[in-house]
Amino acid sequence: MSDTHCPYCALQCAMRLTPVTAGSDDGFDKLNHRAAPVTVSPREFPTNRGGLCRKGWTSAELLARPGRVVHPLIRQPDGSFAEAAWDAALELIAERLRAARATFGPDAVAVFGGGGLTNEKAYQLGKFARLALGTSRIDYNGRYCMSSAAAAGNRAFGLDRGLPFRVTDLDEARTIMLIGSNPADTMPPFTRHLEGAREAGGLIVVDPRQTTTAKLTQDGAGIHLQPAPGTDLVLLLGLTHLVIAEDLVDRAFIDARTEGFAALRRSVSQWWPERVASVTGVPVELQRRVARRLAEGGAYLLTGRGVEQHVDGTDTATAAINLALVLGLVGSADGGYGTMTGQGNGQGGREHGQKADQLPGYRKITDLAARAHVAAVWGVEPETLPGPGIPATELLGLLGRPGARGGVRCLLVHGSNLLVSSPDVNAVRAGLAGLDLLVVCDFVFNETAALADVVLPVPQWAEEEGTMTNLEGRVLRRQAAIAPPAEARSELWIMAELARRLDAPSTWPTDPAVVFDELALASAGGIADYSGLSHARLDAQLAAGRAAYWPFAAGATDESEGTPRLFADGFAHPDGRARLVAVKVRSEIADVPAGPADDELTLITGRLLGHYQSGAQTRLVPELLEAAPEALLEIHPATAARLGLGDGAAVELSNEHGRVECRVVFAPGIRPDTVFLPFHFAGDESVNRLVAAACDPISGMPEFKRSRVRVRALTGEAATA
């Protein structure tokens, strides 16, 4: 048996894997007549309390599912793939990388990582990009997930950690306000931590849809606010205005622990309740109820992708932080602000080098002292490290362009499915097709792999050792339960082999425990300090029933759990004070009541209970696919009637970026001016065909939640399923 954690979301539910013995039908999949190599059972743990969602329960089926990549594959002249020896695949990759660098320079080579990689692999990938490839062009799919909240947290607090408190702290909350987050579908065991607030009538959910989470507010359990898509910033400014106008602020906290209150007060004065109602559609009475409830104490504000995936996502997350700060909640023993990290290692993945502008320990790559520290650990001179790169969407916009003009000619993809998850998917497809080399490292043959020149097989979660960092900053051990397929190789080994062929400096260990020790040294003294941790220390912590929260500096006592609650004594800015940052609303929102033109609807994207991210994994699991086999467009019945659409009708969604075919499903709980489509599906159902590559100028976050679309009935052939 092996104790590990779920391969999906950042709650990282604890589970136990038991290998199936020969002749046993414990792991037998009756639908497909295939035996999973392990059985999954939930494990008692503070975050999931012994629970799993359907994705966790079925996770072992991926280990034996058709579609697994088990040999290196090289594209042939006719477009097909042929199995290849590892030496041949690696030599081909190294040869083309050398040619691109020699002709166009190191920045003609780019790396795209993933928020599902272990800390060890995320760290080594950043090192590989900067030392072995010499490129500044590395980023990862967390740019689509957490970047706005991270930017807001850094400028307000001087530090970014999803939840700066234990998940279990929420159990004692009297009020929890969830803004743009639907954990009842995206991480169901998390809802157990909402029960106390529900019983107190204090669960507040802000979402244009009546999501599964929003339904938890019914029967006196709380309040559901339904602002127009893209107007969360206005709502938050209005709530802050009310808190200040009604003298509900924590004046002692503001004076002692913050800077910028006077400017903030002036900036929100224009957002009186009636004006907020005219823009957001949220009634004045509900605004007042929420503001007063938050001020009663014991309150937490939690933001999610619905807040962040906008061109003003950083400012919106900042407005949520401002509201929490003026109420004196941040760093409090009975309140706080946090953001709901999505991907399994979305937190750790951005701390140690995958982001375009960061070095291990959450250090800025432009900081001379940080460069010197990391370079010393790597055994190179600081000036050999490249400067900051560019965010993911901008990076993808350079794919296939001539290298002499700053374009990208070669791309290495690790644990991401760009052709489904990225904005403006049609443009991304064209860029990928124009590359000299596309390499995909993954364990499933996804839509991006289908365009690759080389596909490399890697182990899955149950087949590898390493660490992950969950949404509350808790560093967790991932333990192998079974051996991977014979030809699969860890990304650590792949990077070491390519580094050798490219004559890279430094050392390239392949043992995850050794890589973690190097990560710990590189992070020492940084914001995200892991220097007091090791695989052995984490195993000992688990055995003793203790957690390990970063920062966890070297020299910590045996009884230490690191830093479960941040900001109790001060913030991470040099003066120890938080920054209240006044933000403005874009003119197209502020000056005109929100809502599309008569012939348009506002499209928002999101997740379903049974699927995860691009769906590359969950669409391979029969039970999950059967529950949600196609993308269904949620639409209000009145809107459907106006458009002449029946429930289940085949429709086309279109705008200037592309078109999508799907079926409609009536959703009385959604706003009449809004439609919703999940992003887990590919091909004609890929919603990101309709999403522009417009991004937040601070965070680089794309605008996934506010696309204008037209909807029309399809005649003749049914929608593609």
Residues sharing a CB contact under 8 Å with residue 591, sequence separation 6 or more, in sequence order: none
Same domain, 684 and 613: yes
Q: Do 426 and 358 share a structural domain?
A: yes
Residue-wise pLDDT tens digits, 498-557 = 999 999 999 999 999 999 999 999 999 999 999 999 999 999 999 999 999 999 999 999
The pLDDT, as a whole number, for residue 27 is: 46
Question: What CATH number corresponds to the domain at position 516?
Answer: 3.40.50.740
Torsion of CA 679, 685, 686, 687, to 10 degrees: -60
Q: Which helix (H) or strand (E) holds 684?
A: none
Residues 130, 199: one domain? no
Given 3-state DSSP classes, what are the helix, strand and coil percentages for the chain, each rounded to the nearest 5?
A: 35, 20, 45
**Two tokens, residue 230:** 């893209």
Residue 28 lies in a domain: yes
What residues form DSSP beta bridges with 113? 140
pTM for the whole thing? 0.95
Has residue 719 been placed in a domain? no
Q: Among 16, 36, 64, where does a domain finish?
A: 64
Residue 551 lies in a domain: no
Residues 6+ apart with CB under 8 A from 362: 159, 160, 350, 351, 352, 523, 526, 527, 528
136 within a domain of the structure (yes/no) = yes
CB 83 within 8 A of CB 73: yes
Domain that holds residue 642: 595-713
Instruction: State residue 34's pLDDT score.
Output: 47
pLDDT at 33: 37
Which domain-ending residue is among 294, 321, 339? 339
Report the C-alpha dihedral over residues 267, 270, 271, 277, rounded to 10 degrees. Answer: -160
Residue 223: phi and psi, rounded to 5, are -135, 135
Q: What is the CATH number of the domain that holds 619?
A: 2.40.40.20
Tokens 């059972």 -> residue: 41
Looking at residue 720, its pLDDT comes to 43
User: Domain check: are 11 and 112 in the same one?
Assistant: no
Q: Which distant-in-sequence residues (6+ apart) come within 8 Å of 229 by Cβ?
A: 208, 594, 602, 604, 671, 674, 705, 706
Both 108 and 196 in a single domain? no
3-state secondary structure of 519: helix
* 446 and 528 share one domain: yes
CATH (domain of 194): 3.40.228.10
CA distance 549 to 529: 10
The total number of structural domains in the chain stands at 4
Same domain, 38 and 153: no
Residue 263 counted as domain residue:
yes
Tokens, residue 179 = 């803004």
Compute the CA torsion angle 440, 445, 448, 454 (nearest 10 deg).
40
* Distance, CA of 211 to CA of 516 (rounded, Å): 40
Q: What is the pLDDT of residue 596?
A: 54
Show which of 339, 367, 390 is a domain's final residue.
Answer: 339
- The answer on 152 and 136 residing in a single domain is no
User: Is residue 556 domain-resident?
Assistant: no
CATH number assigned to the domain comprising residue 7: 2.20.25.90
309 and 455, same domain (yes or no):
no
CA 345 to chain centre: 8
CA distance 613 to 416: 9
Do 624 and 701 fall within a single domain? yes
Mean pLDDT, consecutive 10-residue stretches, the chain (721 aa), reads 93 94 52 68 94 95 88 97 98 98 96 96 98 97 93 96 96 97 96 98 98 97 97 98 98 98 98 98 98 97 95 97 98 92 89 94 96 98 97 95 82 96 96 97 96 97 96 96 95 98 98 98 97 97 95 95 95 97 84 60 96 93 95 97 96 96 97 97 95 96 96 71 37
Name the DSSP class of 720. Answer: P
Structure tokens at 103: 């002709």
What is the 3-state secondary structure of 120-188?
HHHHHHHHHHHHHCCCCCEEEHHHHCCHHHHHHHHHHHCCCCCCCCCHHHHHHCCEEEEECCCHHHHCH
Same domain, yes or no: 59 and 103: no
Is-contact 583 596, C-beta < 8 A?
A: no
Q: How far apart are CA 11 and CA 190, in angstroms?
A: 7
Q: Are residues 125 and 271 in the same domain?
A: no
Q: Residue 341: its pLDDT value, please? A: 86
Burial-class residue 86 by CB neighbours within 10 Å (0-12, 13-18, 19+): middle
pLDDT recorded at residue 1: 83
Between the alpha carbon of residue 364 and those of residues 120, 358, 569, the distances in Å are 19, 5, 24
pLDDT score, position 45:
95
- 307 found inside a domain: yes
Please indicate, yes or no, if residue 648 is contained in any of the structural domains.
Answer: yes
